[in-house]
Amino acid sequence: MPLLISYCCSLYGCVLWDIRPTHSDFESAWSTWRSGVRRVWGLPNRTHCALIHVISGRLPLNDEVIKRMLSFTRNCLTSDNELVNFVARYAVWYGRMMSPLGRNTFHCCRRYGAAMDALWSVTPACIFKAAKSRYDISQVCTVHIW
C-alpha cells in the first residue's frame, strides 16, 4: 500500500480539476484508484467501494482532492502576490460558477455544510471528521472481522 500511495497519489494538478460530482473524468479517477487498492490488497473485484476506504485507512480520494484544493485556494486568497490574490478573490467571490476555482470552492462548502463566507472553517480536521461520519458501522465491523 505505501508504494501505491507513493506512486499513484501525487495527483499533480488536482487542485485545478473540475470536481463536480457529475464530472465523468473525476468518477473515472475514483474507480481506477479503487481498482488499484483492490489489486494491492488482493480483494475480489466485487468488494464494495465503501469498504475500500476503511480497509486502506485513508481518506476517500475525492475528499483528499478537496482537502488539497481548499489548501490551494486558501494559499491563493492569502498570497502576497497581488495578481494571484486578485484572481483568486475574483474567482471565489465574484466569478463563482464561471470559474473552476469558484465552482470547486462552492462545491466544497456545500459538501461540508459551510457557507462561502465560512470557507476557513472547512479544515483538514473537518474533512477527516466528515469522511469518518459517512462510514456505516456495519461496514467498519465487516472490515475488522475480515
With 90 as the cut, is the pLDDT of residue 88 above it? Answer: yes
| pLDDT classification of 83: cutoffs 50, 70, 90 | very high
Mean pLDDT of the chain: 79
**In the structure grid, which three cell numbers stand for residue 11, read together?**
495527483
Instruction: Output the pTM of the full model.
Output: 0.76
Give the residue, 34 or 94, on which the prediction is more confident.
94
Nearest CA-CA partner of 110 in 122, 101, 99: 122
Beta carbons of 124 and 37 less than 8 angstroms apart: no
Give the residue, 23 or 90, on which the prediction is more confident.
90
Alpha-carbon separation of residue 111 from 21, 73, 95 (angstroms)? 10, 16, 19
Q: Please tell me the predicted confidence (pLDDT) of residue 98.
A: 86
The string of pLDDT tens digits covering residues 30-56 is 788 788 888 887 878 777 776 777 777
Query: In which element (H, E) is residue 19 found?
Result: none
78 phi and psi angles, rounded to 5 deg: -110, 15
Q: Please report how many Cα atoms fall inside a 13 Å half-sphere around the Cα of residue 32, on the Cβ side.
A: 10
Beta carbons of 71 and 140 less than 8 angstroms apart: no
Burial class (CB in 10 A: 0-12, 13-18, 19+), 145: exposed
CA separation for the pair 88, 125 (Å, rounded): 23
Contacts of 117 (CB under 8 A, 6+ apart): none
